[in-house]
Amino acid sequence: MTARALAPVAVAVLTSTALASNAAPSSTTAPCAGGHVARTASYVLALSLGPPEAMYTLAQVKAERPRSGEVMLGGAMSPMHMAMGRAYHLELHVCSRSSGAVVTGAAPTIWVAEAKGMAKRLPVAEMEGVRSGRSDYHYGNNVAFAPGSRVTITVVLRGERATFHLVVPKAAHTMKP
């Protein structure tokens, strides 16, 4: 699935370890231009939140030939506890700030916190759309949020940090600023 197909995350706010440059969603089609974009010293991070995705192993993709969903290349699927809310697909694209190249094997840490809750570490899967290839290489997982809740997502990658604040959509997987 491409970042363009996902609803953009509301506001990107960088913490003190990242450079002070926020960017609104870009109109280009590069992997790190969709959703909301944060820049650190070394990386461009594009975070999107959309409908949940079916997750497949490489063997399942070869055997079943699904037409949509994500192929997991590493990491772990997140256990879904639907009593906590509605399922969404959190997708983080990482690109080199200097070259613009998609960064693979980066192992970012993603922390998710709802407004009055403790931050929880999200199990991070490395994946790409089953029909998209490396240009859609990204990190994330399916996650449950209470519709309408305020969420803070913090990404740490090799000592560099970016924080995204958003309001989870109540319906139709659209984001509010």
The model's pLDDT over 35-92, given as tens digits with 9 standing for 90+, comes to: 888 999 999 999 988 888 888 999 999 999 999 999 999 988 776 554 457 888 899 9
In a domain, 26, yes or no: yes
Residue range 134-138: mean pLDDT, rounded: 90
- Residue 72, domain member (yes or no): yes
| pLDDT tens per residue, range 93-132 | 999 999 999 999 999 999 999 887 789 999 999 999 999 8
Q: How many CA atoms lie within 13 A of 66 on its CB side?
A: 17
Q: The whole model's pTM is what?
A: 0.77
In a domain, 173, yes or no: no
The answer to whether residue 176 sits within a structural domain is no
**Residue 108 domain flag:** yes
Give the CATH number of the domain where residue 161 resides: 2.60.40
Provide the domain count of the chain.
Answer: 1
Structural domain boundaries enclosing 90:
3-167
94 lies in some domain = yes
Residue 159 in any domain: the answer is yes
Position 76 in a domain: yes
